[in-house]
Structure 1
Amino acid sequence: MKIFTANQIYKADKFTIEKQQIPSDALMERAATQLFEWIHSRLQGAEVTIQLFCGIGNNGGDGIALARHLKEADYNIQVHVVNYSEKRSKDFLLNLERLKDRKIWPEFLNDDCVMPEISPNDIIVDAIFGIGLNRAPSEWVGKLIEHINASQAFVLSVDIPSGLPSDRMPWNTDHVIRASYVLSFQVPKLVFFLPETGVYQNQWELLDIGLDAEFLVKEEVDYEFMTQFDVQPIYRPRLKFSHKGTYGHAVIVGGGYGKIGAVQMAANACLSIGAGLATTFVPECGYHSLQTALPEAMVLTDAEDDYISEIKIPFKPNAIGIGMGMGTKEETVQAFGKFLKEVDLPLVIDADGLNILSQNPKLLNEIPKLSILTPHPKELERLIGEWKNDFDKLDKAKTFATKHDIVLVIKGAHTITFYGGKGYVNSTGNPGMATAGSGDVLTGMITGLVAMGYDSLPATVLGVYLHGLAGDIGASLVSYDALKATGIIENIGKAYLELFKRPEPQEGKGA
């Protein structure tokens, strides 16, 4: 599912109006109708006060048109026009006249107004600002937003929380609506998925307002939101006439004294995702525990007992995952650097492999092309440097991935995979996955998919999706709090089965 910028959405509106030969207010009416039907299907005429706060642009016009539909269905409404400018969009004015024709008289709010009373039992429709916001709200409008946020009422935002720009950080974090729910038109907004801006809505959902399908398909974007429908075509079914060699031999390199479990989880995940064979390369101290805990895997050991001093793989594997639990001892750093110079296939690099790279930047030039790096936030910061905000982080990550021709995974609530100047935003996962070993499991899953013959980018996108989905299934069984990394592994098979179930209507997750 494509994520459009504000300018691309305006282009889509214009293209649709011209191609379908409709007036611009027809799109506004479609939006209002979709909003009304969503609300009405849930309230069913319930006796509740709905307070609509409408700006004087097109977002406000959506709210004004919605008010007309609500009134015609006999809902108790109060309409407030937030009069923040002398300029008004023509479609806002048109719908304002339609509202007045029905003897509905809005209250106009200005910089000297008394803040409207809001009951915690009211429903607020926030239609003050839309995606066109290009400067900080006036101070008095900011105070109105603070008043709404403090009301404890349910807040439904139209398209995007007011005060939140769609393509940059907000000017004042206190002057952004904190929405209980966002009904966004046609496509999601990138700000829904970033840690610093995703906090402004608990949930979001898309409403189809009939933007032209041809434009939506052909328009190139910088980011895509990877849903079930987007991921399904990546999957390659297993063949009837096949054997374990058909699905590749993966090697998991890592571990140290007291950290063999990281390798065990990665190797287990690698086999659980479908790799035909898995071998682990660990210090001598890990031999017995791995042979006991994971009998399906083979074990190679370093000459040293407690740490890796030299990486020797006596065969050519199909994929290698490296770094988890490996440590950054000087001998290990030297072994890793030597290994990078000798290896001739893309790697999946995690944990201490990433830490060694950040401590020894010259080694970045030795990474095989199309390798996959899977840092958590602090590992990412050590790799690409500090960032001012989430948008700066994305720019730095995109530049880093392009410079080194690698796939870069930014792990988080909505993990984003970068390659070739484009970001792929994941739609699965939950807070229960913020637990020890979760990243090791992801590394193993991606390594297994690469071993099976998937190219680096599709292996990563599919691996990230299935990792999150397995976590969602696991959390549904034991709760967020009790989910462990091994619980993610246990549900990889169920994630595969879930991938091809008919999905429920798409609802987005808030932060």
Structure 2
Amino acid sequence: MKIFSAQQMRKADEATMQSKNITSLELMEHAATKVFNLIHEKLQGAPMLVHVFCGLGNNGGDGLVISRLLVEHGYNVKVYIVNFSDNRSKEFLVNYDRFKDISKEWPIQIKSEEDFPEINSKDMVIDAIFGIGLSRPLLPWVTSLIKHINTSRSFTVSVDIPSGLYADKAPDDPQGAIFASVTVTFQTPKLIFFLPQTGIYTQDLEVIDIGLDQNYLQQQPGIAELISKNEILPLYRSRYKYSHKGNYGHSIIVGGSYGKIGSVVLATKAALRTGAGLITAYVPECGYEVLQTSVPEAMVITDDDDELSEIRLDFKPSAVGIGVGIGTSEKTIKAFEEFLKENTSQLVIDADGINILAKHPELIESLNENTILTPHPKELERLIGAWKDDFEKIEKTKSFSKKHRCIVVIKGANSLIIYGDQMYINNTGNPGMATAGSGDVLTGIITGLLSQGYDALQATVFGVYLHGSAGDIVALETGFESLMASDIISKIGLAFLGLFKTPDIRKEKS
């Protein structure tokens, strides 16, 4: 599913009005009615007080349509106009008059903190103050109103996006945006719902199709692609009946140091579970017995006693995953440098491999085109520098990716895959995956897919999705707190099966 910018969504409205020969008022009526229908379906006429806060633009117009429909269906409604400007949109004014025509109570004007209404925690709030067009800081009393709504702890529904959020940057005041219980957004999700700094303002997201012009939406490139099963299934390669292990590549996982051999075990097992035909673990000698015992399916090559001092291969692997648990000693850095200069295989770099690149940026020039980097946020900061907000983080990552012709996975909730100007947002995964070794598993999954012939971008997008999907299956069984990285490996098979059907977890447990 494509993610569009605020400007693209405005143009989609215009294209829809032209192609369907409808007015902006008719489009607003249609969209707001969809929001009302969703709210009405949930409330079923429940006798609660509904506070509707309307801005002065088209988001406020949506709120007035919703208010009118609530009154017409017998709900107890109080409507407030957040009067922060002398300007009003035409659509707002028309719907303001329509509301006054059917309601015994006219909207209440809010012009300062003295006008703030009392909101009970058992009441409901509909937030229609600002939409995706917010472009300047809020007046102080408007920020106070938003904080007043948040403090009420009432169930809050935001229309399109929570008020106080910009479409393309973090809020000026972290407490100056609505913390919505539900956001009902139009046609497609917005980027802000998937970023750490702005995703926190929406507990649940409902996307409603308001019938925007599909020809326009299909022709637009979008600013990102939201990855779910529908986008992943076409990437899947089924296996040929008469194939053998040589058809699925020979992966190698390079890493480990004294006390950190477990990371190589996890990555190696994950690559095997993902379908690599052969796999070799390249570790210090102290990891030999651990690997041979923990992963009997893998071959093992060893180097120095406690840490790697050279990385010499007498064959060309299909794919290499390097960096997990490898450490950053001087001799390991030297071995890593020599390896990068000689390597011609597809490459995934994680953990200390990224930390070495950050300390020695000249080594980045040795990376093959389409090398895959999988940093967690702190590793990414070491690599590209600090950022002021998530939007700048994305732009700096894009610049890094274009400059060095590499793919970068920004790990986290809704991991982002950056490839030049292209951005993919993963829609699988859960908070239980914030646990030791989860990133090592991802390295193994992507490496295993590379070895089977998936190209670098396909392997990355597919791998991040599988990783999150396997984690979601585990979470259904264990909950978030008990999820371990090794559990994710055990469910990779069900994640593959889940591309074709919903896995029956109860049957699996029996």
Q: Same fold (TM over 0.5)?
A: yes
Worse-matched range after superposition: 198-207 or 458-467: 198-207
Kept in 2, the 8 Å contact 1:56–1:89? The answer is yes
Return the alpha-carbon distance in structure 2 between the equivalents of residues 40 and 240 of structure 1: 53
Which residue number corresponds to residue 151 of structure 2?
150
1:385 counterpart = 2:385: yes
Worse-matched range after superposition: 81-90 or 116-125: 81-90
> Partner letter of residue 441 of structure 1?
V
Q: Report the Cα offset of residue 24 of structure 1.
A: 0.8
Q: Report the Cα offset of residue 225 of structure 1.
A: 1.3
Which residue number corresponds to residue 256 of structure 1?
257
Which residue number corresponds to residue 48 of structure 2?
48
SS at 1:145 equivalent? helix
> Partner letter of residue 182 of structure 2?
Y
Report the RMSD for the aligned CA atoms in angstroms. 1.2
Return the alpha-carbon distance in structure 1 between the equivalents of residues 491 and 426 of structure 2: 18
CA spacing shift, 1:103–1:41, aligned 2, 3 Å? closer
Correspondence list, 1:20-419, <5 A: 20-104=20-104, 105-111=106-112, 113-302=114-303, 304-419=304-419
Worse-matched range after superposition: 47-56 or 437-446: 47-56
Q: Report the Cα offset of residue 113 of structure 1.
A: 3.8
SS at 1:163 equivalent? coil
1:494 counterpart = 2:494: yes
Which residue number corresponds to residue 509 of structure 1?
none
SS at 2:442 equivalent? helix
> Partner letter of residue 427 of structure 2?
S
Return the alpha-carbon distance in structure 2 between the equivalents of residues 292 and 62 of structure 1: 63
1:346-396 alpha-carbon deviations (Å, 9 max, x no partner): 210001111111111110000111110000111111110111221111111
Which residue number corresponds to residue 421 of structure 1?
421
Return the alpha-carbon distance in structure 1 between the equivalents of residues 174 and 287 of structure 2: 49
Return the alpha-carbon distance in structure 2 between the equivalents of residues 254 and 376 of structure 1: 17
> Partner letter of residue 11 of structure 1?
K
Return the alpha-carbon distance in structure 2 between the equivalents of residues 422 and 449 of structure 1: 21
Q: Report the Cα offset of residue 164 of structure 1.
A: 0.4
Return the alpha-carbon distance in structure 2 between the equivalents of residues 125 and 68 of structure 1: 13
SS at 1:137 equivalent? coil
Return the alpha-carbon distance in structure 2 between the equivalents of residues 81 and 208 of structure 1: 27
1:19-44 alpha-carbon deviations (Å, 9 max, x no partner): 11111111111111111111111111
Kept in 2, the 8 Å contact 1:449–1:463? The answer is yes
> Partner letter of residue 175 of structure 2?
D
> Partner letter of residue 392 of structure 1?
E
Kept in 1, the 8 Å contact 2:113–2:145? The answer is no
Q: Report the Cα offset of residue 325 of structure 1.
A: 0.7
1:52-82 alpha-carbon deviations (Å, 9 max, x no partner): 1111100011110011111121111111111
Q: Report the Cα offset of residue 111 of structure 1.
A: 2.3
Worse-matched range after superposition: 235-244 or 379-388: 235-244
Kept in 1, the 8 Å contact 2:399–2:420? The answer is no
> Partner letter of residue 102 of structure 2?
R
Which residue number corresponds to residue 507 of structure 1?
none
Return the alpha-carbon distance in structure 2 between the equivalents of residues 260 and 129 of structure 1: 52
Return the alpha-carbon distance in structure 2 between the equivalents of residues 79 and 426 of structure 1: 38
Worse-matched range after superposition: 44-53 or 456-465: 44-53
Kept in 1, the 8 Å contact 2:169–2:389? The answer is no
SS at 2:200 equivalent? helix
Q: Report the Cα offset of residue 502 of structure 1.
A: 6.6
Return the alpha-carbon distance in structure 2 between the equivalents of residues 143 and 307 of structure 1: 57
SS at 2:474 equivalent? helix
Return the alpha-carbon distance in structure 1 between the equivalents of residues 502 and 276 of structure 2: 26
SS at 2:345 equivalent? coil
Return the alpha-carbon distance in structure 2 between the equivalents of residues 181 and 125 of structure 1: 10
Kept in 1, the 8 Å contact 2:316–2:345? The answer is no
Kept in 2, the 8 Å contact 1:136–1:172? The answer is no
Correspondence list, 1:452-467, <5 A: 452-467=452-467
Which residue number corresponds to residue 432 of structure 1?
432
Worse-matched range after superposition: 66-75 or 448-457: 66-75
1:111-161 alpha-carbon deviations (Å, 9 max, x no partner): 264210111001100000001111111111111111100001011100000
1:142-188 alpha-carbon deviations (Å, 9 max, x no partner): 11111100001011100000010111121222221111110010111
Identity over aligned pairs, percent: 55
Return the alpha-carbon distance in structure 2 between the equivalents of residues 121 and 437 of structure 1: 43
SS at 1:68 equivalent? helix
Q: Which one has more relative contact order, counting CA pairs under 8 Å at least 6 apart?
A: 1
With structure 2 as the length reference, what TM-score do the two structures score? 0.97
> Partner letter of residue 258 of structure 1?
G
Gaps of 5+ in 2: 504-510
Kept in 2, the 8 Å contact 1:35–1:183? The answer is yes
Kept in 2, the 8 Å contact 1:374–1:411? The answer is yes
Which residue number corresponds to residue 10 of structure 1?
10
CA spacing shift, 1:301–1:112, aligned 2, 3 Å? closer
With structure 1 as the length reference, what TM-score do the two structures score? 0.96
Return the alpha-carbon distance in structure 2 between the equivalents of residues 502 and 156 of structure 1: 30
Return the alpha-carbon distance in structure 1 between the equivalents of residues 464 and 302 of structure 2: 29
Kept in 1, the 8 Å contact 2:318–2:346? The answer is no
SS at 2:157 equivalent? strand
SS at 1:332 equivalent? helix
CA spacing shift, 1:133–1:67, aligned 2, 3 Å? same
Return the alpha-carbon distance in structure 1 between the equivalents of residues 52 and 122 of structure 2: 14
Gaps of 5+ in 1: 504-511
SS at 2:127 equivalent? strand
Return the alpha-carbon distance in structure 1 between the equivalents of residues 276 and 37 of structure 2: 47
1:479 counterpart = 2:479: yes
Aligned length: 502
